[in-house]
Structure 1
Amino acid sequence: MSTTTPPFIKKGALFGLVSPAGRIDSDVISRAGVFLERNGFRSRRGKYVTHEHYQFSGTDEERIDDLQAMIDDPEVEVIWCCRGGYGTLRIIDALDFSRMPVQPKWLVGFSDISVIHATLQNNYNTVSVHGPMPVNLPADNNYGAEWNHLLDILQGHDIVYRTPANILNKQGTSAGQLIGGNLSLLAAMTGTRYDFDPRGKILFIEEVGEQLYHLDRMMYQLRLSGKLEHLKGLIVGHLTDMKDGKIPFGNSAREIIRNITEHYDYPVLFDFPSGHESPNEPLLMGAQVHLQVTDEGGLVVYYI
């Protein structure tokens, strides 16, 4: 099955702003509009983008309506999810993405939005962007490099990532289709129709705020289900605010992942700058990537 890559955008492209998960302050939406306007793009707010229903940005039905409207709107070229949190898994099976392979458009987000990336890659083989969201925009408008890189990647500019040496890295060279996202969401989708086939894939994972033994359990879930065995490579992003118990687990988050993957013969790259910290570099999920890990560090190059 061939991969569908949405058309790269040009100045004046319309971004649709939606909140499929957690509630968000209206100031964040305003900052997103300012950021896009300063860079020559337009924005359109979802009808319920700042609604509140307990911890969610509107009821399930409202969030479904907003996201579906952006999927179906022929003028919208980029669907930019405003934040993560929790809630996307509750609505994913009510959404119709069948237009995406026929009239593809970009979808951008990370964390809880990993659910949508999984849907696009595993069900529709469509490329999307794991990248920063409006909630991450700095209030002082002092934008870091990842924001320029996000717009660059959407406009089709070449992106090459180089990372420094890491003692935990496993050296090697590989190529495959990049998939993944937040590890907790990947674990939650195991056994569902949004689950991934690891064959020929390079898996990216990141995590935030988890107990170390939870991380260990999720990694063993991937191992016991055969996911890790059949990968072509593994890229580990930010592991943010990981927590230990009163009785120490005995390994750091990175060591847990390294120990569980040490018997496989593919390259493993640690500390890729993407996830719940800054910089949160954008990744083209679903695209073919070349991964090289040497004693000097890592290299990630896309093939579009």
Structure 2
Amino acid sequence: MFDTLNSKAALLAPSSSLKENDLTAARSFLSSSGIESIDSAHLFSRERFLAGSDSERSADINAAFSDTDIALIFTVRGGYGAMRVLDKLDYDLISQNKKLLFGLSDSSALQLALASQANLKSFSGLSLTYDLKKDQQLSPKIRDCFNSILKNEVYTETDFESFEALEIEGRVYASCLTLLASLCGSPYIPDLRDSILIIEDVKEEPYRIDRMIQQLKLSGHLQSLKALIFGAFNGCTSKDPGDGSMMELVADWNKQLDCPVIYNFPYGHIKDRVIIPVGGHLKIAKETIFIYPETDQLTIN
């Protein structure tokens, strides 16, 4: 069980920039949870579409991991830019100073890199500025998942659909599809063999979604998957109805792949979503998915 009382959390912006008032509700939430928020040195910096230069943002990430007083790390917003710092991080330092890191969306690039290069498990599905605006509270699934992670308790989810009854368990990776596909050809994608892969995206037409999945397939990253889970694809509709729907795309991939396919799983750019341990453990037992936070062991086994 993780004791939040008097814990300190680093707030990082590895992607797009933000303003100080974007974090008002987030600071209140953390404080009410007994967590003191610590701003990274360049949290409110801006360089074009980024939250500071690449060297500034990577320095903030390295500093957060090296600070022995920091127990948690939150990447506070998405946008774009996390993949620009991946080759500037000290993965040896990070692997020796493991923290509970939370992110979503563009932070997928960082979280996949931490898994592949530092053997670090992190948690995808919580973005402080996306999920906490003004007087907004965390949605029920996010709140319950977050509490389960802090208590190191299993979280169960029954809100999903599949083409067949399944009994599968294994290592799990979750990512925004755009970021996962963009990392093809780099060393920052973990070995996905014998794992359960969860993908999501937002405001992309189905043909673009298909192209990115094809890229993963042709790059060899879909070989020997235990299961492919389609999370939320919010706003992913065809401008031309004749181009087909996301459901048609999902059904097509169910035929193409040698592994089971699950869909309509509540992970991604939606208000009420689950938090997934990237590099952690997940079990699918017929109509229930069990998510194991295992916060006492942040090394990917």
TM-score, length-normalised on structure 2? 0.90
Aligned twin of 1:266: 259
Task: State the distance in 2 between where 1:219 and 1:199 align.
Answer: 16
Q: Which residue, 41, 47, 54 being the options, matches 2:48?
A: 54
Aligned twin of 2:195: 201
Q: Is the 8 A contact 1:149 1:282 kept in 2?
A: no
Q: Which amino acid aligns with 2:271?
A: S
Q: Which residue, 137, 141, 144 being the options, matches 1:142?
A: 137
Task: State the distance in 2 between where 1:165 and 1:248 align.
Answer: 27
How far is the alpha carbon of 1:247 from its aligned partner? 6.7
Q: Which amino acid aligns with 1:138?
A: K
Query: 1:146-157 residue pairs with structure 2 within 5 A?
Result: 146-157=141-152
Aligned twin of 1:94: 88
3-state DSSP of counterpart to 2:93: coil
Q: Which amino acid aligns with 2:61?
A: L
Is there any run of 5+ residues in structure 1 with no aligned partner, and where?
Answer: 1-6
How far is the alpha carbon of 1:124 from its aligned partner? 2.3
Q: Is the 8 A contact 2:174 2:198 kept in 1?
A: yes
Stretch deviating more after TM superposition (157-166 or 24-33):
157-166
How far is the alpha carbon of 1:10 from its aligned partner? 3.2
Aligned twin of 2:248: 255
Query: 1:12-31 residue pairs with structure 2 within 5 A?
Result: 12-31=6-25
Aligned in 2, Cα 1:247/1:152: closer, same or farther, shift over 3 Å?
Answer: closer
1:299 is the counterpart of 2:260 = no
How far is the alpha carbon of 1:165 from its aligned partner? 5.6
Task: State the distance in 1 between where 2:3 and 2:188 align.
Answer: 27
Task: State the distance in 2 between where 1:69 and 1:244 align.
Answer: 43
How far is the alpha carbon of 1:74 from its aligned partner? 1.1
Is there any run of 5+ residues in structure 2 with no aligned partner, and where?
Answer: 295-301
1:163 is the counterpart of 2:158 = yes
Task: State the distance in 2 between where 1:184 and 1:274 align.
Answer: 15
Aligned twin of 1:172: 166
Task: State the distance in 2 between where 1:281 and 1:159 align.
Answer: 12
Q: How many aligned positions are there?
A: 293
Task: State the distance in 1 between where 2:293 and 2:23 align.
Answer: 33
* Offset from partner CA, 1:139-188 (integer Å, 9 cap, x none): 2233322342353244233132222463x544321111111301011101
Q: Which amino acid aligns with 2:289?
A: L
Aligned twin of 1:224: 218
* Offset from partner CA, 1:116-143 (integer Å, 9 cap, x none): 1111212222210002111121322333
Select the structure that is richer in helix: 2
